[in-house]
Amino acid sequence: MKILGIETSCDETAAAVVEDGLKILSNEIASQVEIHARYGGIVPEVASRQHTLSIVPIIQSAMSKAGVGWQDLDAIAVTNGPGLAGSLLTGVNTAKAISLAWNLPLIGINHLEGHIYANWLTDNKPEFPLVCLTVSGGHSDLVLMKGHGDYTLLGRTRDDAAGEAFDKAARLLELGYPGGPVIEKAAASGKATIPLPKSWIKGTNDFSFSGIKTALRRLVEEGGIINKADAAASFQSAVVEVLVGKAISVAQEYDACQILLAGGVAANKHLRQKLVNDSPLPVFIPPMILCTDNAAMIAACGYYRFQAGKTSDLSLDVIPDLKLA
């Protein structure tokens, strides 16, 4: 079974063809990073306009590289939330047009669920029950997964998501954009010697990263930052310690078989290494290209939804604040 995946939730225009939810036949991505870097962050209107320019060529490229035609596809999976409304509309409307033109089943996909399913596109196959730590620019969630489509939200960010915190820290330290990669690069030559607060929020599995951001801002404003590399390393270490600590604690509490890592921040090498080193449970992490926004994960998720008989109709709409659980 071959499914075309389409992803336009933020600033990547992506299309992919995946077979049986496991085999990537193509995975094409048009990034807008250079466009938004000049603004220090994503400009929603610019992002949506760029999607309209890139969506058709990127789908054609994905189909060509997969060596398939419309008649070879079994369904179309498309992200319909959460994300930027204008960006989501481009992908959803394109998918609906293709579905109507070629009489193909349409499957609306939650972007966060897609990130989780990037772990099914590796050689290791996850086993239930499992706990997934999903960390991205807009989300930091801990989810218990007892089966395909069976999610229980165990913890989430109460304010800034981990990726958002990295972006803000990078801006404070004048390191550039996007924040995650530049913080990681600067941290590589620094030492985590600057004491920054770690918010554990006792009695809950939720996260909070606004306090550490405020502490860093005060240090910058008061001239307490002498070495930017040390500041980056300290900030990264403090955020990662809480993410890893809570993920392991929750997985043990709920007798999970393993821990999955997903989302754009999952590309952070320090996070990947610390989770693997500290966890007494097996840890699955997608390769770098499947951590950031891509359409292969959407197609993979679409396969399992299609197998469960969960399809959408042409009334499918975008839901910018769509919840997973």
- Judge whether 192 lies within some domain: yes
Which is nearest to 52 in space by CA: 82, 26, 84, 13?
Answer: 13
Region of 201 on the Ramachandran plot (φ > 0 left; ψ -120 to 50 alpha; else beta): left
Residue 223 to residues 183, 195, 212, 217, 293: CA-CA distances in angstroms?
19, 15, 17, 10, 37
Average of per-residue pLDDT across 40-56 = 93
Query: pLDDT band for position 159 (50/70/90)?
Result: very high
> How confident is the model at residue 37, as a pLDDT?
84
- Judge whether 275 lies within some domain: yes
Regarding whether 143 and 13 lie in a shared domain, the answer is: no
> Which pLDDT tens digit goes with each residue over 129-157?
999 999 998 889 999 999 999 999 999 99
pLDDT at position 280 over 90? yes
Regarding whether 301 and 240 lie in a shared domain, the answer is: no
Regarding whether 61 and 168 lie in a shared domain, the answer is: no
Task: Spell out the residues 6+ positions from residue 107 whose beta carbon is closer than 8 angstroms to its own.
Answer: 3, 75, 76, 77, 78, 302, 305, 306, 310, 311, 312
* Cα(127)–Cα(177) distance, integer angstroms: 36
Average of per-residue pLDDT across 114-127 = 94
CATH of the domain at 186: 3.30.420.40
- Hey, which residues does 5 pair with through a beta bridge? 16, 77
Q: What's the domain count of the chain?
A: 2
Structural domain containing residue 278: 126-285
**How far is Cα of residue 231 from the mean position of the Cα atoms in its chain?**
25
Regarding whether 194 and 74 lie in a shared domain, the answer is: no
Regarding whether 166 and 57 lie in a shared domain, the answer is: no
pLDDT at position 33 over 90? no
- Average pLDDT value over all residues in the chain: 96
Regarding whether 303 and 281 lie in a shared domain, the answer is: no
- Judge whether 10 lies within some domain: yes
Regarding whether 255 and 107 lie in a shared domain, the answer is: no
In the chain, the amino acid numbered 154 is L
Q: Is the bond into 57 cis (omega within 30 degrees of 0)? A: no
Regarding whether 303 and 252 lie in a shared domain, the answer is: no
- Judge whether 322 lies within some domain: no
> How confident is the model at residue 25, as a pLDDT?
98
Regarding whether 100 and 26 lie in a shared domain, the answer is: yes
Model's pTM, two decimal places? 0.95
pLDDT at position 41 over 90? no
Cα angle 40, 44, 49 (rounded to 5 degrees) comes to 115
- Judge whether 312 lies within some domain: no
Regarding whether 147 and 242 lie in a shared domain, the answer is: yes
Let me know: does 209 contact 162? Beta carbons within 8 Å. yes
> Which pLDDT tens digit goes with each residue over 170-203?
999 999 989 999 999 999 999 999 999 998 998 9
Let me know: does 135 contact 292? Beta carbons within 8 Å. no
- Judge whether 315 lies within some domain: no
- Judge whether 313 lies within some domain: no
Regarding whether 173 and 87 lie in a shared domain, the answer is: no
- Hey, which residues does 3 pair with through a beta bridge? 18, 75
Q: Which helix (H) or strand (E) covers residue 99, if one does?
A: helix 85-102
- Judge whether 280 lies within some domain: yes
Query: pLDDT band for position 223 (50/70/90)?
Result: confident
pLDDT at position 39 over 90? no
> How confident is the model at residue 137, as a pLDDT?
84
Regarding whether 246 and 148 lie in a shared domain, the answer is: yes
